[in-house]
Amino acid sequence: MTELASTAVVTGGTRGIGRAVALRLAQSGYQVYFTYVSKPELAEEVVAEIEKAGGTAKAFRLDSADSDAVSTFFADEIKGKVSLDVLVNNAGITRDGLIMRMKDDDFNAVIDINLRGAFYCLREAAKIMAKQRMGRIVNIASVVGLMGNAGQINYVSAKAGLIGMTKSAARELGGRGVTVNAVAPGFIETDMTAALSEEVRKGYIANIPLKRMGTSEEVADAVAWLASDQAGYVTGQTLSVNGGMYM
């Protein structure tokens, strides 16, 4: 019997943290399957970068919030075809606004992608990993899921939910050799934070003990550690990568 390729699935791998995670896990030796929704040219760029460094990667246009599409992806591309060693639920969006002005659509869209989407992928991965009797799931939460944040009730609800989902899944899947952890990044330099005004950025940085924003690579290193053999006895945890922003 031929051995199936050791594979990591990363949602939202074309930009920011997901891109850095895809590159980092490829460096660790995984074949990387990553998803995106809107920019195929960026997806090609990431595949090319991984291949140039000697790795293997494939990009899939897949909206995490589409439950049927997620099931089809895992059935057609993963089950029985590769060894699903790692799932990183990274895809996420923000639609910030104050509570009293927040529209249903903005609340729901953020929950759909950041929370429901993570669940759809986790559920499919769990079926496969439980059967394999091994696997690593890492959910990308956020510092604000731990501390709350004015103007982000939708996003904070999703990220706090993701931390709860991590703890529950860790309890349910531990007996099958599957670990489930979260990484809670602080204020990281990506497209998501580029939209903030200079004043808001300065305000955040003033409250970070390390006095700078973090990089996507610093978050990716934490994810790679949780996916590695060194983290074999770590599950149900939320690892903060935030420059000391919230302690």
Positions that interact with ligand NAP (CB under 6 A): 11-18, 35-39, 63-65, 90-93, 113-114, 117, 140, 142, 185, 187-188, 190-193
Q: Which residue lies nearest ligand NAP, judged by its C-beta?
A: 16
Question: Which CB atom, from 4 or from 192, has the smaller least distance to ligand NAP?
Answer: 192
CA angle 125, 127, 132 (to 5 degrees): 90
Is 233 an annotated catalytic residue? Answer: no
Question: Which CB atom, from 113 or from 180, has the smaller least distance to ligand NAP?
Answer: 113
Question: Which CB atom, from 36 or from 130, has the smaller least distance to ligand NAP?
Answer: 36
Q: CB 140 → ligand NAP: shortest distance, Å?
A: 4
Question: Which CB atom, from 117 or from 135, has the smaller least distance to ligand NAP?
Answer: 117
Q: Point out the catalytic residue in the list 120, 155, 204, 233.
A: 155
Question: Which CB atom, from 58 or from 176, has the smaller least distance to ligand NAP?
Answer: 58
- Sign of CA pseudo-dihedral 207, 209, 213, 217: negative
Q: CB 69 → ligand NAP: shortest distance, Å?
A: 9
Catalytic positions, written as ranges: 155
